[in-house]
Amino acid sequence: MRLPCPLCGDRDIREFTYKGGAEYLDRPAPEADDAAWDAYLHLRENPAGATRDLWYHGGGCGAWLVVERDTVTHAVTGARLAADMAEGGA
Amino acid sequence: MRYSAWEILKQGLTGNAGWKPVWRDPAPKAEYDIVIIGGGGHGLSTAYYLAREHGLTNVAVLEKGYIGGGNVGRNTTIVRANYFLPGNSEFYSHSLKLWEGLEEELNYNVMHSQRGLINLFHSDGQRDAFARRGNAMINQGDDAILLDREGVRRHLPYLDFDNVRFPVYGGLLHPRGGTARHDAVAWGYARGADSRGVDLIQNCEVTGIDIEGGKVKGVRTTRGEIRAKKVGIVVAGRSGQVAAMAGMRLPIESHILQAFVTEGLKPVIDHVVSFGMGHFYISQSDKGGLVFGGDLDFYASYAQRGNLPMKEHVMEAAMTLMPVIGKAKVLRSWGGIMDMTPDGSPIIDKTPVEGLYIDCGWCYGGFKAVPGSGFSFAHLMATDRHHAPAARYRLDRFRTGHGLMDEEGTGSQHNLH
Ligand SMILES: Cc1cc2nc3c(=O)[nH]c(=O)nc-3n(C[C@H](O)[C@H](O)[C@H](O)COP(=O)(O)OP(=O)(O)OC[C@H]3O[C@@H](n4cnc5c(N)ncnc54)[C@H](O)[C@@H]3O)c2cc1C
Ligand SMILES: [Zn+2]
């Protein structure tokens, strides 16, 4: 598997660390209740098929990426910088 | 038919014409008392113990593929009770005791082989951690022996003891640990459940769960609607998808775990051995193949096959520990879908929907749990009370923070186990 880093180009999966679903970008407010935090930290969509997840390019530019890929075929269809997508950006 | 030496002799002398299919192939009925979704090891053992321990036989197991086609037929077959934390400790201890009586009870040869399991350590700190684990195992009533370097050498003379980076300091021997034939366990429980009246329905995928007023009414399947008073979800890597049919999100992410087998060799590895400085563990099957594996690939996946980095890591770790196997040719590698929880421990619990129960989160360690999980889940479904050895496997422990069971001590977070 290779991931297309927007800054570095196509790079071997060994250069990246996986974090989890892109829902991690939607952090609840600090005062949100425990149900909201439980949902954020633990409960997962866990899709079989198209997914968006977070990867850290530690062996390259050091950026966090949102990768679009398929969990059934391992096809990778795109990647964007997480920094461009935070704060309500799509 | 009861299997025995006499039966084999009789069948052998009469042209082996008398063997019958081991379970029926029934059409689904319109209604059951209990429907179990998933015909893997855990679903089959649940059905068996519902019938055998609780006299509940109006039960169906619905399997979308064929019996034994999931992880129960894809694992590396290690059976052990060497857990450390309260919760896991008593559960796996109970499960191992069930294993020890299983062949006689099922009248089925599951090839359970208590050949001894040795976890190696390579530093003083690791020795202390294993000494502590061994004490926890002994406190639980199981067996553990701390071996020094020479003690390990007597069992495993072929290791590279003086490897410059990772010399072997010793190992924790768990004499009652070992392996079993994975398919046979599924078949043995299937036969036992079927002969007590349970309907095993294959090629029957559950596509929906019917809920009215907060109570489960039945399931929709590719073979029609089936009503049920109680429904149990036991679908391992597919837990998230099936739970979604009941509107639930689970603390589960599905990951890939790979395994490997070599061509058949003369006996060389007598035990189950695990490396303490990389992801590698190994045993030898009765056919002679070296069966080995490592860790997750560490990204969410339903592909049932993995990528090259973990393959390389496992092979490198193998060559570091036991260069003796370097010329063996790898025949196959494969992967299974692991239902990973944040703390790496399982869930056996009721759900917020009345009559709907769930048994999941077995991560990469659920084969050894097949008897214990079925026993405890059947107890919960039949009596609505938690079975003592599994009482800590609560669905809400991540939300409350009470009773997390993080054996590895790495943190209760999805990408860490
Ligand atoms: C490579 C590998 C090595 C492993 N090694 C070990 C080991 O050494 N020791 C150990 O203890 N554990 C090990 N495990 C873990 C163990 O195999 C699993 O934890 C355990 O088998 C999971 O439970 P199961 O047997 O019920 O799962 P499965 O056999 O996967 O059963 C689940 C069943 O549910 C069915 N299903 C799914 N969705 C539906 C639906 N909608 N409708 C109907 N049916 C459905 C599936 O088809 C499947 O048959 C390993 C796993 C893998 C992949
Ligand atoms: Zn990069």
Same domain, B162 and B235: no
Which residue bears the tokens 């990469």? B364
Residue B95 in any domain: the answer is no
Same domain, B167 and B190: no
Q: Please provide residue B324's backbone torsions phi and psi, each rounded to the nearest 5 degrees.
A: -55, -25
Do the Cβ atoms of A42 and B301 come within 8 Å? no
Residue B85 in any domain: the answer is no
Please, what is the end-to-end C-alpha distance for chain B in angstroms? 44
Residue B93 in any domain: the answer is no
Cβ neighbors of A18 (< 8 A, separation 6 or more) are A53, A54, A55, B298, B299, B300, B415
Asked whether the CA dihedral B179, B309, A69, B414 is positive or negative, the reply is: positive
Q: 3-class DSSP state for residue B345?
A: coil
pLDDT at res. A85:
81
| Cβ atoms of residues B309 and B316 within 8 Å | no
Which residue bears the tokens 């679908």? B235
Residue finishing a domain among B296, B311, B340? B340
With helix as H, strand as E and coil as C, how does B129-152 read? HHHHHHHHHHHCCCCCEEEEHHHH
Over residues B62-72, the pLDDT tens digits come to 999 999 999 99
Residue B94 in any domain: the answer is no
Quick one: which H or E segment has residue B269? Answer: none
Same domain, B320 and B347: no
Q: Which residues in chain B show pLDDT less than 70?
A: none
Which residue bears the tokens 């490592």? B294
pLDDT at res. A90:
44
Do the Cβ atoms of B249 and A53 come within 8 Å? no
ipTM of the complex: 0.94
Q: A1 contacts in B (CB within 8 Å)?
A: 307
pTM here is 0.97
Q: Please provide residue B333's backbone torsions phi and psi, each rounded to the nearest 5 degrees.
A: -135, 155
What is the average pLDDT score of chain B?
Answer: 97
Same domain, B265 and B412: no
Write down the H helix ranges in A1-90. Answer: 34-41, 82-85
Residue B279 in any domain: the answer is yes
| Cβ atoms of residues B286 and B115 within 8 Å | no
E-state strands within B193-287: 199-201, 206-212, 215-221, 224-233, 253-264, 272-274, 281-284
Same domain, B266 and B236: no
Q: Give the percent of chain B with pLDDT over 70.
A: 100
Whether A86 shows a pLDDT value over 80: the answer reads no
Q: 3-class DSSP state for residue B407?
A: coil
Do the Cβ atoms of A74 and B303 come within 8 Å? yes
Q: Length of chain B in residues, anyone?
A: 417
Same domain, B142 and B157: yes
Same domain, B242 and B372: yes
The closest of B249, B298, B362 to A40, measured between CA atoms, is: B249
What strands lie across the sheet with B170-174, from one edge to the other? B145-148, B170-174, B117-121, B272-274, B281-284, B289-300, B253-264, B330-340
The pair of structure tokens assigned to B25 is 């192939």
CA distances (Å), origin B150, targets B122, B157, B161, B171: 14, 9, 10, 10
Candidate from B249, B307, B398 with C-beta closest to A13: B307
Do the Cβ atoms of B398 and A42 come within 8 Å? yes
Do the Cβ atoms of A13 and B342 come within 8 Å? no
Domain around B315: 113-177+253-340
Q: A48 contacts in B (CB within 8 Å)?
A: 238, 241, 254, 302
Taking CA–CA distances from B338, the nearest residue in chain A reads A46
Residues with Cβ–ion distance below 5 A, ligand 2: A 5, 7-8, 57, 60-61
Give the residue, by CA position, lying nearest to ligand 1 atom 37. Answer: B235
Residue finishing a domain among B340, B359, B393? B340
pLDDT at res. A87:
54
The pair of structure tokens assigned to A56 is 């850290």
Taking CA–CA distances from B302, the nearest residue in chain A reads A72
* Least Cα separation, residue A28 to chain B (angstroms): 15
Whether A88 shows a pLDDT value over 80: the answer reads no
Q: Please provide residue B39's backbone torsions phi and psi, each rounded to the nearest 5 degrees.
A: -105, 45
Q: How many domains does chain B have?
A: 2
Q: B249 contacts in A (CB within 8 Å)?
A: 39, 43-45
Cα B369 to ligand 2 centroid, rounded to whole Å: 42
Cα B40 to ligand 1 centroid, rounded to whole Å: 6
Cα B365 to ligand 1 centroid, rounded to whole Å: 10
pLDDT at res. B415:
86
CA distances (Å), origin B250, targets A39, B1, B91, B125, B223: 9, 42, 22, 36, 27
Over residues B251-281, the pLDDT tens digits come to 999 999 999 999 999 999 999 999 999 999 9
- B121-126 own/partner pairs: CB under 8 Å, 24+ apart: B121/B168, B121/B169, B121/B170, B121/B171, B121/B172, B121/B276, B122/B166, B122/B167, B122/B168, B122/B169, B122/B276, B122/B277, B123/B169, B124/B169, B126/B169, B126/B276
Q: B399 contacts in A (CB within 8 Å)?
A: 34-35, 38, 42
Cα B221 from Cα B317, distance rounded (Å):
45
Residue B91 in any domain: the answer is no
What is the average pLDDT score of chain A?
Answer: 94
Q: Which residue type, as a one-letter code, is found at position B327?
A: K
Residue B400 in any domain: the answer is yes
Q: What is the CATH number of the domain that holds B160?
A: 3.30.9.10
> Which of the residues A11, A12, A46, A69 would you substitute to probe the B interface, choosing the one with the greatest number of B C-beta atoms within 10 Å?
A46
Over residues B178-205, the pLDDT tens digits come to 999 999 999 999 999 999 999 999 999 9
Residue B39 in any domain: the answer is yes
Do the Cβ atoms of B302 and A1 come within 8 Å? no
Same domain, B165 and B258: yes
**Ligand at shortest distance from the CA of A3:** 2
pLDDT at res. A9:
98
Instruction: Please state the atom number of ligand 1 nearest to the C-alpha of residue B242.
Output: 41
Strand B170-174 relative to strand B145-148, pairing: antiparallel
Do the Cβ atoms of A21 and B254 come within 8 Å? no
Same domain, B204 and B316: no
pLDDT at res. A89:
45
CB pairs under 8 A between A and B: 65
Q: A46 contacts in B (CB within 8 Å)?
A: 240-241, 250, 252-254, 300
Cα B219 from Cα B35, distance rounded (Å):
8
Same domain, B382 and B259: no
Which residue bears the tokens 């059934």? A72
Same domain, B237 and B259: no
Class of the CATH domain delimited by A2-27+48-86: alpha beta
Same domain, B142 and B265: yes
- Half-sphere exposure in the Cβ direction for B328 (13 Å, CA): 26
Q: What is the DSSP letter of B109?
A: -
Residue finishing a domain among B313, B340, B367? B340
